Structure 1
């Protein structure tokens, strides 16, 4: 690996990318996808940034699943069957799927290919962009000791709140080194509060089960294939068909929570252990979810909400206080753990923009995410308007 190589393991990625990849291979093996990089923070990239990014892609092409990594997955994720693990044994990143160009200080990037292949690019690419950006702009972070001290202060607050927290910060980390440093501390001192990380590679290093289920692109694809109105429902049913009694957390905001709840009937609400909140007011959301469970005559105290929207100790304190004796909250902390280093964190995403559900039909279908807040919506503006009209939002 060269001196600028940032991703050194095939498993240095979020767990839900692998769980979705497994489901795609089983259900939609011929589907194709297009992704685009969105520079929400209008960051200015230094000269030759794209060249170094391409070098990292070439380094990633040599990554392979090791025997020890396979054994870790077999032991900790038994629902990832041998057929999938055989596929992962042969999988390699293909840099030809990624198109990168630089115009002055702007970076343009898109990804295109089989969905089962391209799905793994998003998280390690964002982690690479983030770390390279700080390296090349000379933005130095606070010392390791200060990072540990900050992490300790946060952890003490979470312990006092008696909440369950996980680490979700791979994609916008300051660096691999910082994420590893924070995770090491959380593992050593987290006791019963810290439940694990979404990063599979670091979960293996620290002997923890990786956490996560599925992302927005899973539902976005279903909307392109089956229509906006029933996307949530079929996405959930397909997930259950693959994973049964495992990984049963439903994502609630791809086309707003109100639309999700229309699809979240008594059968699905009973089968899924809970839902994930990723946009909008968490208190209003919690109220909506509790009200929905009660309407279906389901006890909310037997269900979970995984909160994962830009969290910090103050937000967690407010949410956990509200949830007390009403529903069981869990918290996925991202950037506040892995990029709270005395510098502004990057605001960027890589999102699916088009899909080709059937290869016989050569017409690509645009996809959109509506979210509960306008800022988090992605996709073509005209299609967003059409989706809102169809869904009566």
Structure 2
């Protein structure tokens, strides 16, 4: 029996999973979802990987929200009401929602169940897979001392650039320990440019407010329920109805940015503080957003763009230079903080592939088109249909 466990708290997850879960419980409590593991990097998994992963999932089923963790959420996230926190207090992972098989070095996996339950699996599952992979393949990282030194160099660079930085690195971290080491550096250094971490558990440990927006699956589900053309718009309106003046960053690339901008009207562009960029050319995207705001007579200097697409110091330098005195950039650094240890990081994702909205009896395939082909996911026929409906060449 493997004694190794990578996730030791129910809150060791990205913040946006909890905010989406709360919204799902309020608006779509009976909706169901299916997720699928996608091995983008064609990685080979070591012998017995699936069984050891299953052991870890069984251990995760014993996790519960502690009273101290609940108090932390009440204090730092007042928009998560007591009804939701009561739900979370009773919540436990159910490994029966996950189907895993291994054929040689290839791994297959999908998740199925109520959307309000299964939404929490993706991030800790990926973090577990990543850490197990390095442990079981015996791949040795650089020393903690070198990781410390490398991170300090990056922070020195970000300080010189005078940019705002958040930490978004849970799902593809090398290990929990490396993640904690990096975050400890960020917080102990008292860097004024550090906005916080998307990891709720580590935010709790270091007494910082967690940060986050919402994920593509929020909009993908709305497409299944309401149609591709208005999915972005209704998803944003529903988000505002739940969170009001909180968490007002819109996700811009589920069905490509041009389609998003058609839905991002004067009212929504005014109410949302800004947008998140997660695919495609960041400079082109910035130009598109500035032009969009100006067309609506909104001053872009009062708006934010959160960049979160595979960032490193070089990219941050280039983007921040372009944004200067035009719009406010914030940078969500992920893998480059938590898995820059001298080894290739895993190129894996877990994405929603089907949804069963309430009052429908048939599963509907969902897709993400993104601004780049490599990040698009979903059934090929449905991708073709979505592009046809949205007039995407």
TM category, shorter: over 0.9
Q: Secondary structure at the match of 1:69?
A: helix
CA shift for structure 1 position 353: 0.1
> Which residue in the other structure is 2:284 paired with?
284
Contact kept, 8 Å, 2:2 with 2:52, in 1: the verdict is no
CA shift for structure 1 position 361: 2.6
> Which residue in the other structure is 1:346 paired with?
346
How many equivalent residue pairs?
A: 392
The CA distance in 2 between the partners of 1:190 and 1:375, in whole Å, is: 37
The CA distance in 2 between the partners of 1:190 and 1:180, in whole Å, is: 16
Q: Secondary structure at the match of 2:361?
A: coil
CA shift for structure 1 position 5: 1.1
Runs of 4+ in 1 over 6 A off after TM superposition: none
2:371 pairs with 1:388: no
Gaps of 5+ in 1: none
The CA distance in 2 between the partners of 1:281 and 1:213, in whole Å, is: 21
Pick which of 244-253 and 378-387 moved more.
378-387
C-alpha RMSD of the superposition? 0.8
The CA distance in 2 between the partners of 1:77 and 1:150, in whole Å, is: 33
- Residues 117-163 of structure 1 deviation map (CA, whole Å, 9 limit, x = unaligned): 00000000000000000000000111100000000000000000000
2:71 pairs with 1:75: no
CA shift for structure 1 position 2: 6.2
> Which residue in the other structure is 1:254 paired with?
254
> Which residue in the other structure is 2:15 paired with?
15
CA shift for structure 1 position 3: 2.3
> Which residue in the other structure is 2:325 paired with?
325
TM, length-normalised to structure 1: 0.99
The CA distance in 1 between the partners of 2:103 and 2:2, in whole Å, is: 25
CA shift for structure 1 position 11: 0.1
Q: Secondary structure at the match of 2:330?
A: strand
Q: Secondary structure at the match of 1:112?
A: strand
Contact kept, 8 Å, 1:155 with 1:190, in 2: the verdict is no
The CA distance in 2 between the partners of 1:213 and 1:251, in whole Å, is: 8
CA shift for structure 1 position 34: 0.1
Alignment of 1:146-295 (within 5 A): 146-295=146-295
Q: Secondary structure at the match of 1:10?
A: coil
The CA distance in 1 between the partners of 2:331 and 2:134, in whole Å, is: 27
Q: Secondary structure at the match of 1:329?
A: strand
- Residues 281-312 of structure 1 deviation map (CA, whole Å, 9 limit, x = unaligned): 00000000000000000000110000000000
The CA distance in 2 between the partners of 1:383 and 1:192, in whole Å, is: 45
Alignment of 1:79-118 (within 5 A): 79-118=79-118
Gaps of 5+ in 2: none
Q: Secondary structure at the match of 2:388?
A: helix
TM, length-normalised to structure 2: 0.99
